[in-house]
């Protein structure tokens, strides 16, 4: 089936079989490898994207379900050469180690701050609870979200 969607504001088309995930289509057919494939079971959040503005695990969404919809991936957050404030904060606080979890965490954190510009620690914990990181121990990730919020989100 041929699907048409908008990825990061750009019209895109791909031929997909009925059981193909949005994650696979993004990475292998549409040229957006930023979303990572770690578990393919909705457990780790490394594949997080926004589908019509709602945070989803793209490994759990069929590509055909995205037909006619808007998808935002981590590649769509920066403004040209200018990193997104959450990306800046991740770099500044050292919240990136192997980096495998980072795209999903950045998308989830950006989504949180869009809705809640000054989150409490509990709100950060809740918002990022679907994103697993094996490296950082999470404290630097929390620091990054706090920094992005403090540095005048929006
Ligand atoms: S790859 Fe989608 S949740 Fe892990
Ligand atoms: S930085 Fe390695 S899994 Fe998070």
How close is the Cα of 4 to the center of ligand 2, in Å? 33
How close is the Cα of 129 to the center of ligand 2, in Å? 14
Residues 31, 32, 38, 41, CA torsion sign: negative
How close is the Cα of 48 to the center of ligand 1, in Å? 7
pLDDT of residue 151: 82
Helix axis angle for 139-150 and 102-115, nearest 10°, is 40
Cβ of 132 closer than 6 Å to ligand 2, yes or no, is no
pLDDT of residue 134: 96
How close is the Cα of 12 to the center of ligand 2, in Å? 30
Q: Which residues contact 102 (CB under 8 A, 6 or more apart)?
A: 90, 95, 96
The set of protein residues with a Cβ atom below 6 angstroms from ligand 1 is 37-40, 42-47, 57, 59
- Give the closest ligand to the alpha carbon of residue 22: 1
Q: Is 134 exposed, middle or buried (0-12, 13-18, 19+ CB in 10 A)?
A: exposed
Where do we find the tokens 């990054």?
Answer: 144
Cβ of 134 closer than 6 Å to ligand 2, yes or no, is yes
pTM: 0.96
Cβ of 97 closer than 6 Å to ligand 2, yes or no, is yes
Averaged pLDDT, groups of 10, the chain, 154 residues long: 97 97 98 97 98 98 98 96 96 97 98 96 98 96 97 64
Q: Is 9 exposed, middle or buried (0-12, 13-18, 19+ CB in 10 A)?
A: exposed
pLDDT of residue 152: 66
Q: Is 54 exposed, middle or buried (0-12, 13-18, 19+ CB in 10 A)?
A: exposed
């Amino acid at each position: 089936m041929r699907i048409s969607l908008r990825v990061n504001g750009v019209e895109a088309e791909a031929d997909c079989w009925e059981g193909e995930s949005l994650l696979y289509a993004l990475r292998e057919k549409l040229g957006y490898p930023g979303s990572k494939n770690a578990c393919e079971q909705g457990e780790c959040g490394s594949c997080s994207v926004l589908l019509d503005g709602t945070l989803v695990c793209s490994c759990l969404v069929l590509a055909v379900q995205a037909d006619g919809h808007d998808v935002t991936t981590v590649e769509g957050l920066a403004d040209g050469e200018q990193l997104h404030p959450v990306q800046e904060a991740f770099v500044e606080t050292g919240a990136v180690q192997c980096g495998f979890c980072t795209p999903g965490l950045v998308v989830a954190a950006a989504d949180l701050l869009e809705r809640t510009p000054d989150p409490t620690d509990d709100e950060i914990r809740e918002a990022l609870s679907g994103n697993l990181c094996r490296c950082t121990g999470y404290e630097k990730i929390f620091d990054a979200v706090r920094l992005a919020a403090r540095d005048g989100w929006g």
